[in-house]
Homo-oligomer: A and B are copies of this chain.
Amino acid sequence: MDFSSDTSASAHPAVLEALAKANTGTQSSYGADDVTERVRALLLDTLETDDFEFWMCASGTASNALALSVMCSPTGSILCHREAHIERDERGAPEFFTGGAKLHLLDGPSAQIDETELREALDAIDRSFVHETPAETLSLTNLTESGTAYPVDTVTHYAALAKAAGLTVHLDGARLANALISTGSSVADMTWRAGVDVLTLGLTKTGAIGCELIVLFGDMRAKYPELLARAKRSGHMPPKMRFLAAQAEAMLTDNLWLSLAAQANARAREFANAICTVPGVRLAHSVDGNEVFAVLPEGLAEHLQKAGGVFYPWIDGSHRFVCSWATTEQEIDALRSALAG
């Protein structure tokens, strides 16, 4: 009953097998290897376009920060939700990688940006007023930090508003697969067709060891050499790149990443259904992915912990329960038993 985080989970066996398979003979370093080439081919299918460049990175924090550093200048700012991972959980990585850009925080329920907040922030931009730090990029997170999903329509609408104001659009997709499953959307619809310029596509929380993709679409491809230079100088260009690529290959092959996310989402729904049978329990947010945020009546948290449950209190007063690809039906059963006790 470890619901602490999807990063506490082990990696899927297919990932380990891919590593072993990649571990034969010599390969060129720094991304010029055969496995990376196969990932590129898989991405053509996954993304339904060839109008992209990509880079692989072991760290989600670095992937976001590298993406933002080719989107926003040191003298600009990035619009994001107050609870976004880039604001709350990356120890100032965006500021570091961009060379001092600011995050401009917007509010809205369930970690989704409110449209009025967004419009007001966009309207307030005055590029001719040198004293302020104008917004250059909008960063959305899907799945959000509250486990909710923006539907494709909202991403498309917000991206259009941002672009009309001259901004570029970033999507932090650390748990993108979970959002795609619950909204029934394709990657293409949720990203480049919706107006997203740069995607960070997470595979770590979905089941890899540590592998995220930074994808530049369309015009942003011109930033690819800069992305590589910044990846190199921040230590995100490992010599034995094939081992990052092997993880991506395993996850993208036959859409394993989507299957694993579907599995985790299913467990989360079962979890929510189970815990909501307890009187006084209330879901703090819609369960649109693999995370359940539940407001618990007094004593329930302690009761579950005594029964072996591992999970954390959240800043909004709820408790967070995260399912992963590795969460079993047995664990949900164990939860049900604990709740019944």
Q: Which residues of A contact B (CB under 8 A)?
A: 2, 4-5, 7-11, 13, 16, 19-20, 23-30, 57-63, 65-66, 73-75, 77, 88-93, 95-96, 99-103, 105, 127, 130-133, 204-205, 209-210, 225-226, 228-230, 232-240, 243, 310, 326
Contact = CB atoms under 8 A, between A and B. Distances in A.
Given A10-B27, A11-B23, A91-B130, 12 more contacts: A5-B239, A8-B27, A10-B24, A58-B235, A59-B237, A90-B131, A92-B100, A95-B95, A96-B99, A131-B232, A204-B240, A234-B234
A16 B11 CA distance: 14
B131 A230 contact: no
Nearest to A225: B127
Contact of A234 (B28, B96, B132, B225): B96
Nearest to A232: B91
Given A75-B233, A130-B91, A10 B30 contact: no
Contact of A233 (B2, B30, B91, B204): B91
A101 B74 CA distance: 13
Nearest to A82: B105
Contact of A74 (B11, B96, B133, B228): B96
A59 B13 CA distance: 25
Contact of A243 (B28, B63, B209, B236): B209
A62 to B, nearest CB: 2
A38 B260 CA distance: 31
B92 A235 contact: no
Contacts of A236: 59, 62, 235
Given A8-B27, A59-B235, A95 B102 contact: yes
A226 B100 contact: no
27 contacts: A7-B239, A7-B240, A8-B27, A9-B26, A10-B24, A13-B23, A16-B19, A16-B20, A20-B20, A26-B326, A58-B235, A59-B235, A75-B233, A90-B232, A91-B130, A92-B101, A93-B234, A95-B100, A95-B102, A96-B234, A130-B229, A130-B232, A131-B232, A204-B238, A204-B239, A210-B243, A234-B234
Contacts of A99: 74, 96, 99-100
B8 A29 contact: yes
Contacts of A210: 58, 238-240, 243
A209 B240 contact: yes
Contact of A90 (B73, B230, B233): B233
Contacts of A209: 19, 240, 243
Nearest to A208: B240
Contact of A26 (B10, B101, B225): B10
